[in-house]
Every structure is written in structure tokens, then in C-alpha cells.
Chains A and B, each alone.
Chain A
């Protein structure tokens, strides 16, 4: 029997979805083509940096998932944000040109010119999942008709999630006052709960939009597991929360956070998510949606934790595709090196800051230092603590930039942007500038070694924080981590696991590198063993194999099992 894998966050049909745009509903993709691998870009892109190219490759299409024996995963719906249609910067220019074919320029124009709403995009993609299910290519899990996930299936089982609250917005993209309720359903027989909801029940209220979406999902025998409140851009027409800066390749100011924490509308959405009920044959049934803290700014995350305290402690907090900063908030504040005020074209003042990177460990003869990515999009120790104590789950991303890997010649993801309000919140007094890090030396370890090590260091830090800051014991801590690849989400994946079909290679790499990383991590950071030892004091390989298997599959399966039972 093939080994099974679990992925807490991936986009299996996203890249196929963005090859076409249909002004009518449902979209025109055929089920056959949805499964196929894609590579965006022709000869022009071959001239560009390789890292850039990896973002445009398919990483988790259905064919690849089949080869991976990914038996269970959470598919994230993520409508293309208007940010991506900006022609600012090289990446923006390429995305909005024929150089990145077969990416649909019609889609990009529709998004840029506001010919569709984010909600309209969302239900188009949802419809494709529905078609795949109806054609028996995948299974979609729902609490409406829960199944026992321990019983194996020959199909990939997917749970649905929404990445970015902008997907709840039902006015035309970039316009706050024009409802998207004129879409033609063609043929009329294709009308379903999603299109009915879109056309007949317009609401400008995102909380209400979420309620209606969940009801429509249930009516179509689907379900929403978690909601990522923000994504990569500031959504002016429906601001739910401040996002964390995470997209430096697009030189558009929408990528830069400008507000502070969760907005009033955002709190409404969180409250609605936690208290969701659906109508099933005239009876109401609870169908709460978990909030995923990924992409939320640090202050937004704090706002969420404060909000749920006392009232919603029973609902876990998760992070579906995380990296870690390696810092507690106070240590992160201490590590601030430079901060300067930047004025955007909009007039907004934001802070560009550089934070020293926490050393995860050292390995190798030269250029041996491994560091975490200190951007606030990554989890602080307090985040890890909250998630673990809430009985939540952390999916560790396979995006090497998030994991802390960086080019040998660069200092990696250094400067990030934070809204003025949040900077003010965390640094009421300006910090003096600290000395900058010395320039990195030139040479190896190779990417093949550094990428999995970076991944391991992120895992280990989560465990370490759990040991230090929570009452969860070591074996249980290892059960609260899984993979959250973010495949097909324009990420730069681990070199050893460029797409989901290479999960087995990642597993092998974890077995090889976790002991090495653990030793290096403890040497740098101290603390008790994070991997079980045998009587000879060596890492217990039997336990390690089981533990890695848990990370690769069992933990996620257990979480979904719990979710289905609630």
C-alpha cells in the first residue's frame, strides 16, 4: 500500500483555474484539463532567475497529487487579488503580459477593471471542485455527511478553505458600490446554490456573506473548514484586518499594510465564523469556521487572540502554512535594527523595518549559519503557544523564503513593511539603529542541504516553544504540526520537494536532517532534546520515523477527523 500524505494548505486547481476567465457561470474549464500540470511562461522567462520560475510551475495539480498519494488535504480557494494585476515591477509586468501564458490575460483584465467580484471568482473555482467531485475524481469532505477518514479511499479527499476574506466581497473588484449580481448562468440548468446566492442574495456585509456562503456550501454538500482573514494585499473595498507584508515581488503599494489590527467588519466576520449555523432541512446546525492566522499582521493576530479569549476558547486557532521568526515578541522587538518612515503615493505613511534574523543553528564548514525569516508574517513564540494551547494545528510551509532560507549572496528577506499604527503599537519609542549583519560568505552548503534544514529548524522551534511555554508534552507537541505546503500559491518551494508529487522525498529528507538540525538548534539555543533518544543517547530512529509520519499525514488526518466530528 502506498504511503499517504496530508497537506494542510494547497491550491490543487488554482493554476488551471487562472488559465481562463468566463464572464458567465459556471466557468468553461473541462474536468479533464483541471488535473494537468502547467508551466507558465515561454522562452522569455527562461532567461530570468530560476527562483522566480519556480513560482510559476505547477506544484500540486491533481496528477501530481495522485502520484504523491496525497490522500487528504485542505484545498484553499483564493481569488486573484487586484494587486496581481498591477503592472508595477518586473513580476507585475510579466504577469500581465503574454510572457506568462497560458495565464489568462482576460482574467487579469477582468480583475483589474472590476468586471467580476471576488465572490464571483470564488464560486467559479468552487464550481470546478464540485464538478471534480461529481465526476468522482476527488472526494470533498463535509460535516453534513461526515465519513471516517481512517477508512482509506482511492481518491484524494479534500476539505475546503478560503484564503483571504476578500473572497467574501460581493461588489465588483476595486469598486465598493457596484453589486456583482448580474452574471449570466449559462446554461440555465447549471444554476446551483452558489449562483443563486450570488444573483439573488447580494449583501455588502462580509459576515453575512460568510453565513450565506456556508449555507450554499452545505446545500451543495460541501463545507468550509477554515478562513484566512487576510491575504497579501490591502483590500480597500472591504477591509477586514491588516495583513502582514509578504509580497515583495510586486511593486504595488497595495501589498503594503496600512491599517492597524482587525477592523470592525473583521470582528463581525470572526464572530460570524465562530457562531455559524446552517439550515439543514429546516433545522439549524452549528457549522463554525476556524480562523487561520496566516497572513494576518502581528497586531491582527493579537486582536484575534484577545477576541476569542473567554468566549470562543473551544475553537482552535490554526496556522495552515507557517514559518517561524524564532523570536518571542519581546526578543523580536530587541532585534529591530533599522526603521524608517516611507510615504506611499496614497499619502499613507508606513514603516520599513529591518530585523536581525535569529540564528536557528549552524551546520557545515562555511556559510554554516541558518536563520529564521524574521518577517512578522511568520509566527512569533506567542503565536505558537496560543495555537498549541488551543489544540490547533500548525502546517509548516514548504516555501523556502518563509522558512528562512536565503541566497548565499543576499541577506535574504530583510526589510519588510509594517503599518505605522502597528509599528507605533509595538515600538512606542523609537529604537536606536543596531549594527548590520556582516555580509554572508559565498559558499555552500548546497540548496539541497539548506532547504530541508531550514524546514527542520522551523519544526524544531515550534516544538521548543511548545516545551517552554505550554503544558503540552513532547509527544503531543509533535502531533500538532503538519505540512501546509501552499503549493500553487506562487511560492518558491523546497528544492527537494518542488511539487507535491515529491512528498516522499521530503519525508526522506526529514528523516535525514531532523537529527542534524536538532543538534544544531540545541547547540545554538540550548534546551532539552526535541527528539526522543534511545538508551545509547542517540536519536531514536523508530520514534523519528513515526514522528515524521505523523507530521506528513497522521496529525492532519486526526485534525480533520476531529473537525468532521464537530
Chain B
């Protein structure tokens, strides 16, 4: 047995700190302990111990199988353990080393370290607090007993803090970001003085994703307790609680164990960095001995009654690593750590398509991606359309887990759809280490499946716009500056003599005196300033106002904010966040690369914008009458920032939740490329009688999804000169146009001061039509009771189009029927549409594109952003080397813009991405 070790100042501090954490979570720990006791008695499953269902779901997902099987597997761990996990743990143990620190008078301390990259190890800050200590420390690998208890020869390496050293102090300092996490990362020499290589010891990958362990599951700690031979704790090792930063577990450790990685036995993944044991204390705060008496001076650690242990969560360490800066000289080592931790997919050294700003590719490289055999797998989601044969659908329900390796979850895309054809759609999660498009191809090859597409991150049309253009203050230009500045001078220079500014200037309405130009859009849509209902007869107005409280208008965007212009205009009892999966749709400004707050605020302002106490006051919401809001807006957050839609399913779910919750009108001011699930949810909205008003798109030419689907109402944009906004998407899919270029909307300036500026986008045209839709529904609510749900949408479309102001400036059949005329619309009664006028009556179901073309379209759609930002470093997590099938699809779109001789000389070809996307969009 190792000798008793003295309690140092550090260990006393850490013990006290860990005890505070312990007592904070005591109730939770007691609950888990009770659960563990019941589990030992066979009364409770391990998976029933935790009350964190999210954590449980993540944990189950890691099993890579259907939930019920995963539950069985996790719960079976108490008695049975796959040998594969032990092999994994043994492999990990190779990377664990003893740290020996020396001073002028010999050894001053021991610790445990673990390689997390080919030549970087991790330990505690209280083991290696600084570079100087690291210089005096060596890492000894294989310091352990071999067969027949023979001592193996350890292999010793010096540490190289000069190459890389990153630490987070064990004491938290509120002024120092990421302090208190008690970790140190330090480089190790790759070859020791004796020529020994570090390579054979491998390294452990730190997976920052959650779900590696749940409360009540077993932990494993591989360690050098008190500098002793490498040990592993296998008994009494349950996890007691997980908090945001640390976890508490039962496992036995001793001084010298500091710096050990804690592994989850169920997954074999590193879950924490051990850093302190937790002492039992009496009410006076004295540490207690095992005999219950207070600790006395001179007592060693073996006298202490330890309650448990505390470790820093791996996810926190990875986050700190990602955000802490290091000197330029250490960047190479940092890059190697990143590379080691992301070794799932190896990017081919010779990219098959060499992407440049002009999409030029090496000519003869359509040889398919080089994908490594990764050790780690990841979760991908897929939208699947099953065969229309009931037998195949039934068989899928019974056998999906067998048919799709790694299937974790299989659920209906729209469980309560009112469109029978959509019941064939499934949404599945698959744990795989394979390329998601290849997995999709395999699934699509099943006889049960008609189509399968991975649900990967994609940019919105707004995110694809050109930030380098300064000539026009578009929505995107505002975004890319992160802030905006007042631009009325520029606006007036450009538009003061143009139609709608001139018309606005004729107004004598006292509320807009001197700032009439800010309301030009109201004049363009024939909406009386101050009171959108002013041109209705009193009985009609009263009827509209009586019905309005029963109707719901939902905005699907980046969420709400407290900008004064919109403050108080929301219904925050019904809001929904499809990203964070909660009930608070507050716009959380995207961090890191994406500084694009407030899109939802701007698109809300044109509906509910109110008084704004500033010199910039002007414009307002169309649902504001004489300064009073007449209907609240329900915000739904569907996108973290305006430029990225995480998963398409989040949009689908948000729309579905809104519809099931009683929404009458939805509007969405961003979009993406077409996908079957977006097609489905647009149809669902239509059949449920929900008017879904969608922006046609910005600067991409094509009408985007969901605006392009027959079930939605697509809106293009015009400008103050009554001309089409040239950056507006347009096409036969567009129903109507509305003011979108240089509309006065709220923002913040560089000092975060609230201002209003002129900005552009079909995003701004859309709220005009959405507001009009709600008012029209309220005006004709009684008549519409006799309509089938789809007839309500279709009757609105017809009223919208028939009441539209004809505008000769708009190209025929590209900007819809004309410009929104609110007054005329509200006086246009619905006419019952015939069955033949059903939006889907005379069109064949949209044929899904070939998988290769879909992948290529996904690739080019997301690439558009990088095309115009060649120096950008951001990437989408869903990016992969193109599959051969996608490259073959691309090859069909090679531009014949170079002569064969020139191609041969340059060795490059240009793919006509516009043509490819047009083909994919079917436009």
C-alpha cells in the first residue's frame, strides 16, 4: 500500500472547493445515490436514475441503435460488459503516464498525465502550474507491472513547454476567462534521449459532445496514485452527478491521481479530468477523519474520510481550449492538437474539385473522396420517403433497425399530418463513421425507400449574399458589418425624386411630418398612414377587430429582442425556440464568426413596430392602429443566425408546432435550397389552412424554399421608385410583390445604440403581406368558416392577386400579380375556390432529384458564401469531400467556356453552378 501523503495547501484548497460543489448538489447526489442503491437491489434501471432526459437521450444515441435496444444495452452494463470496451480502455491506458517533478532536493511531486495528441499531454494545473515546473517534469510511460508482477521498464520523455503550454488555473478568477478549470496542456518531446519514440503510446481523443455517461453509470480512472504503478479503479465507481462544469463520482483516487482522465465505462470515452477528492466535513467546516473526529495537524490523506471525487468535464476543457489564445509560436502545435482531435475524416491532399472563387476544378480528378477509416462516429439525420407500398412500409416499421446499420431513431417526419401522402416520410438518426451521402445512398437503395437525404446544415439565402458590396446597404451588408449607421442622407440622394418618396412627401399626416420618406412603403401598398383600417367601413372594421383576437400570426426567424421599436409587441406566452428546444424565442446573438443579430427584430418591426423615442423614429408595423397594436406577434426561433439553418427539421418542427398550436398566418423571411421535408411542410400548411407567407429570396436569382412550393405565398421586392428590386429572387412561383428595397427598419449602431436605417431584402417585403393576410382573415373570418382549410389559403391567394396593383415596371410573370394593395385587398371578399384550383391539383408531385445532384446542389449552395469570401476560415460541420456520384453529377455541368486546348493547358474546368442549381431548383 502506498504511504500516506501530506495534505498540501493546494490539496486543502481543492478539497474545500470540491466540498462546496458537493454540498451545492447534495440533494441531487442523494437522489442519485438512492437510485444507485435501488439499482443494486434490482429495483431501478440505470437509465431511470437520471432525471435529465436530454442527457439520457444523448447517451442512448451513442449506442448507435434503436432506443429500446440502447436502453437494454446501457442497463445491461451492470453485469455484462462488451470486451471491445475493455480493449478500448486498455488502448487508452497506453497513453497514460506518470509525471515526476523534481526540484533541487529531488522529487517534489507526482501526477498523472495522458496524451491527447501525438506529442501533447493533459494534466492538472495544480500538477503543472507553469512552464518552469513543466521543464522540471518528465513523463514516464509504461510505469506499470507486467506479467507475473514484473516491473516493466518505463520510458521517459521530457516535456516541451516551449513548444506548447496552455493552462487554466485551479483557482477561478472572475477576471480571467476560463480560469478555475485546473488543466494544463503541454508538449512532450517526440523522441527521447535514448531514441525512444512517443508514437507507440498513441493518444486519447477528447470528444466534446455530450452523452458519454449518465448518472449512476460506472466511471473508470486510470492513474498513478501517489506515483505508484499504473492502476485502474474498477469497483465502487458510479457517477453521482453531472453539472455544467464538473462531475462527481465515487471512484477511489489518491494524490498523484491528479491529472488522470476519467472514462465512462459504458462508452469507453473520456468524460472528465480528475482533479480533487472531496473530504467529509463537520458543521464547523473541519475536515473529518474516517473515525469521525476532526483532522489533526500532521494527518495524511489516508486519514481523511473522502466522500467522492470531482473531475472537470471534458466538454469544458475543449471549449476553453478552443477559445483561449496561444502565442503564434505555439500555433503549429495547437493545429496538431486540433487535427488529432478531428481525425474522423481526412481531407484529401489533392482535392478532387479545386474550389476557387470562380469554381475552377482540376480536370481529371473525379476519382472520389479519400475518406479515412475513422475511429469516431457521429450522429447524422436523414429524411426518408418510404415506398408507397403498404407492405414495404409495414416491413420498414418492423425491421428498420436491421435494415439501417447504426439506426438510433426512426420517427414519422410529421406524425399528425393531415396529408396522407406525407405519412410515408420518416426522419431517422444514424450513428455512423461513414460519409453521410454514402449512407444516404445505401438507405435509398433499400426496396423500402424511395428517397433518402441527409439533413445537413445549410446557409440561408440571406447568408449567401455578398458582403463586399458597399454600394447598397442591403440586409447582408448590414449584417456583415455587425452593426449599421444611419443612412438617410444616402437614401434621399438616391430616392428623393422617385415615385413613392414623392407621394409620401405629399402627405399632411401630422405623425409623419418631416419624415414622410420613412413611410414610403405604406404609400406603395395603399395603406393609410396611422391606421391601416381607415378605409374600411365602420361595420367592416368592427367585425375585423372583433375577430382579430382569435387569430394567431407567427414569425419564424431568429427570435425576438427588446429593441424599443418592437418591445411589448410580442405574445411571449406562446413563443417557441426550435433551436434550443424551449419556450423562449429570444434572439441569442450568434457568436464567433457570425455577428448577425436582429434579423427577427427587423422583420417583426414591419408588423408590430411602434413608437421609438429617437430622432430616427419612423415607419411602423401594419398591425398598429393609431399608435396601438391590434394584434401581437408570436415569435418562433428557427435559426441561430440569419445565415445558417442548422437542420431542416428544425424549420419543419417549428412550422408544425405553430400550426398545431393554432397559427393562422406564418411568415418566414429566409430560406434555403429545396428539400423534400420543406416541400412537405409547405403542403401541410396549405392543407391545414395556414397561410404561409415566404420571402422569395435575395441575390440568388432563384426562388428559394419554402417560397417556391405551391402551398406557400411567395413575396418578391420592389423599391421606392416602384421598380423591381434587382436583387430580389423572381420567377413564376412569386405571388405578389411588396416594398423590400431600402425600407426603414430598426438596428443598432456600433455603440449598440438603437437606431433605424434603410435596409433591403425580400425579408422586408414579406411582413407586409403577412400582416395583410392576418387582417384579411379577420375581416372575412365568418365567411371563411364555410371553407375547407386549403380553400382559405387559395381564396387568400386569389384575393391577393386580384386586388394587386398592376405595375408595368414589373416583368410579366416574374414578380407575381403586382404590388400588394392593402386597402383593396381588405375589400376583396373571398370566392370559394373550385377543387381544380387546389394548388396541388394540376401538378405532378415534385420528383426528387438524383442523390448525386442533390449532394452537388447542397455543396454549391453552401459554397456560394465561400465563393465570395475566399479568405473565410469558417466551415460547416457538415462539409465532406464530394462523393463520386456528386462529382459525376457536377461533371455534367462543366461549362464549355474554355476551348479544349485551353482546358488542356490549364488543367481546369469550370462547373456551371448556376445551371446545376437551376436544374435542382427546377426553375
Interface size class of B (residues with CB under 8 A): 35 or more
A253-B416 contact, Cβ under 8 Å, with A239-B662, A346-B656, A421-B573: yes
B420 contacts A344, C-beta separation under 8 Å: no
Interface string of A253-283 (1 = CB under 8 A from B): 1100011100110011000000000000000
Interface with B: A50-58, A203-211, A538-546, which one?
A203-211
Q: Contact between A236 and B416 (Cβ–Cβ < 8 Å)?
A: yes
- Return the contact of B688 from the options A236, A264, A348, A424 (Cβ within 8 A): A236
* B-contact bits for A328-355, CB 8 A (1 contact / 0 none): 0000000000101111111111000000
The interface bits of chain A over 169-202 (1 if a CB of B lies within 8 angstroms of the residue's CB, else 0) are 0010011110100000000000000000000000
A205 touches B788 (CB 8 A): no
B660 touches A349 (CB 8 A): no
Query: Residue A113 at the B interface, CB < 8 A?
Result: yes
A463 to chain B, nearest CB (A): 37
- In the complex, which of the residues A114, A174, A234, A267 contacts B660, with contact meaning CB atoms closer than 8 Å? A234
A contact residues around B551 at 8 Å (CB): 264
B573 neighbours in A (Cβ, 8 Å): 421, 424-425
A115 CB, nearest partner CB in chain B, Å: 10
Complex CA distance for A113 and B393, rounded to whole angstroms: 13
Q: Would A349 and B581 be within 8 Å (CB), given that A236-B660, A263-B662, A264-B550 are in contact?
A: yes
Collect the chain A residues with CB atoms within 8 Å of residue B808's CB. none
CA distance A236 to B418 in the complex (A): 7
Q: Does any Cβ of A come within 8 Å of B412's Cβ?
A: yes
Q: A204-B787, A254-B416, A421-B573 are in contact. Are A347 and B654 (CB under 8 A)?
A: yes
Which residue from chain B places its CB closest to the CB of A428 in the assembled complex? Answer: B573
* CB atoms of B660 and A346 under 8 A apart: yes
| Interface flag for A408 (CB, 8 Å) | no
Check A348 against B660 for contact (C-beta < 8 Å). Answer: yes
CB-based contact A347/B785 at 8 Å: no
Q: Assess the A340–B788 pair: CB atoms within 8 A.
A: no
The yes or no answer to B51 lying at the interface (CB within 8 A) is: yes
For the complex, give the distance between the alpha carbons of A264 and B687 in Å. 18
Bitwise, A202-232 to B at CB < 8 A (1) or not (0) is 0111011000000000000000000000000
CB neighbours of B654 from chain A (8 A): 347
Q: Are A175 and B420 in contact (CB under 8 A)?
A: yes
Give the one of A203, A234, A268, A346 with max B CB within 10 A.
Answer: A346
Contacts of A114 in B (CB 8 A): 420
- Assuming the A-B contacts A204-B786, A236-B418, are A346 and B653 also in contact, with contact meaning beta carbons closer than 8 angstroms in the complex? yes
Interface size in chain A (residues, C-beta < 8 A): 43
User: Which residue of the partner chain A has the closest CB to B840?
Assistant: A177
Q: Which residue of A lies closest to B411 (CB)?
A: A345
Q: Which residues of A contact B382 (CB under 8 A)?
A: none
- Complex contact A258–B660 (CB within 8 A): yes
Is B412 in contact with A343, judged by CB distance below 8 angstroms?
no
Interface membership of B507, Cβ < 8 A: no
Check A237–B418 contact: CB distance below 8 A. yes
A420 at the B interface (CB under 8 A) = yes
Q: How far is the CB of A176 from chain B (nearest CB, A)?
A: 4
Whether B786 and A205, one on each chain, are in contact in the complex, defined by CB atoms closer than 8 angstroms, is yes
| Known A253-B416, A254-B416, A347-B653; contact A268-B660, beta-carbon cutoff 8 A | no
Find the A residue at minimum CB distance from B661: A259
Q: Which of B418, B652, B838 has a CB less than 8 Å from the CB of A176? A: B418
Q: Is B922 an interface residue, CB under 8 A from the partner?
A: no
CA of A424 to CA of B575 in the docked complex: distance in angstroms? Answer: 11
Chain B residues contacting A561 (CB-CB under 8 Å) are: none
Does A87 sit within 8 A of B, measured CB to CB?
yes
Whether A258 lies near B788 (C-beta < 8 A) is no
- Report B54 CB to chain A, min CB distance, Å: 9
Task: From the candidates B583, B649, B689, name the one contacting A420 in the complex (CB within 8 A).
Answer: B583
**Bound complex: CA of A338 vs CA of B31, how far in Å?**
13
In the bound assembly, the distance between CA atoms of A340 and B574 in angstroms comes to 18
Q: How does the 8 Å CB contact mask read for A237-261 relative to B, with 1 for contact and 0 for none?
A: 1010000000000001110001110
In the complex the two chains form, what is the Cα distance from A155 to B789 in whole Å? 45
**How many angstroms between the C-alpha atoms of A264 and B411 in the bound complex?**
31
Q: How far is the CA of A237 from the CA of B660 in the complex (A)?
A: 10
| In contact, A176 and B688 (Cβ under 8 angstroms) | yes
**B578 adjacent to chain A (CB < 8 Å):** yes
8 Å CB interface, B780-812 against A: 785-790
Q: Is the CB of B786 within 8 A of A340?
A: no
Is B576 in contact with chain A by the CB < 8 A criterion? yes
- B576 to nearest A CB, angstroms? 7
Q: Complex Cα distance A87/B415, Å?
A: 13
Q: How far is the CB of A47 from chain B (nearest CB, A)?
A: 20
Distance between Cα atoms of A128 and B412 in the complex (Å): 37
- Is B874's CB within 8 Å of the partner chain A? no
Most buried by B among A114, A177, A253: A177
Residues on B with beta carbons closer than 8 Å to the beta carbon of A344? 415
Query: Chain B residues near A208 (CB, 8 Å)?
Result: 785-786
Q: B551, B654, B656 — which one has the most chain A CB atoms within 10 A of its CB?
A: B656
**Cα separation A260 to B582 with both chains bound (whole Å):** 17
Give the distance to chain B from A165, nearest Cβ to Cβ, in Å: 15
For B660, give the chain A residue with the smallest CB separation.
A258
Complex CA gap A277/B53 in Å reads 52
Of the residues B397, B419, B657, contact of A348 by C-beta under 8 Å: B657
In the bound complex, residues from chain B placing their C-beta under 8 Å from that of A252 are 415
Taken together as a complex, chains A and B put the C-alpha atoms of A252 and B573 apart, in Å, by 26
Q: Which of A253, A343, A421 has the most CB of B within 10 A?
A: A343
Pair A179/B660 contact, Cβ less than 8 Å: no
A114 to B582, CA, bound (A): 33
C-alpha spacing A236/B658, complex, angstroms: 12
Residues 653-672 (chain B) with a chain A CB within 8 angstroms: 653-654, 656-657, 660-662
Can you give 10 contacting A-B residue pairs, CB < 8 Å?
A: A113-B420, A171-B788, A175-B420, A176-B788, A176-B789, A177-B687, A177-B789, A258-B660, A348-B661, A424-B583
Interface residues of A (CB under 8 A from B): 87, 113-114, 171, 174-177, 179, 203-205, 207-208, 234, 236-237, 239, 252-254, 258-260, 263-264, 267-268, 338, 340-349, 420-421, 424-425
**4 additional contacts, CB 8 Å, given A239-B662, A338-B51?**
A87-B397, A177-B838, A264-B551, A349-B576
